[in-house]
Amino acid sequence: MGIHIRKATIDDMSYIYQLVRELAVYEKEPDAVRTTIKDFESAFEDDIFDVLVAVADNRIVGMAIYYMTFSTWRGRCIYLEDFYVQPSMRRNGIGQSLFDAFIRECKAKNASSAKWQILNWNEPALAFYRKNKATLETNWWNGKLYF
């Protein structure tokens, strides 16, 4: 299977949006996505976030959505907002290729660290990140405000 990892374009936003919706279903939050494709397109055009996509057989089957942030303790940081490969395409090395490309992007942007969240029940994701030598912190809680 030929896999190609590339940066997303504005024309990819509807496919990326669909993958985000699939991820929400996988994470048992199917009604939590409040954004629209227009929100994605606007934020992407404003350079709010960037995306790497995995393409197989001329279709997008995986994505890594990320953006630059700043840690007062570590400096430049890239936050991995969503990382997803369609279930039917897993176990083909796509996730690893996508993650490796994400790490290269972090290094190219001189980031000192990358951060993301993992649901505590998502054993496949936990195993994947452990395999990649990630530090999994369990002592910090998430804080949020919705407007």
Active-site residue, 67 included? no
Catalytic residue among 26, 67, 79, 129: 129
Query: For residue 101, what are the contacts with CB-CB under 8 A and spacing of at least 6?
Result: 5, 52, 64
The two three-digit tokens of residue 31, written as one number: 């009604």
CA angle, 109 as apex, 103 and 115 as ends, to 5°? 50
Report the distance separating Cα 31 and Cα 140, nearest Å.
26
Asked if 16 and 63 touch (Cβ cutoff 8 Å), the reply is yes
Residues that are catalytic: 129
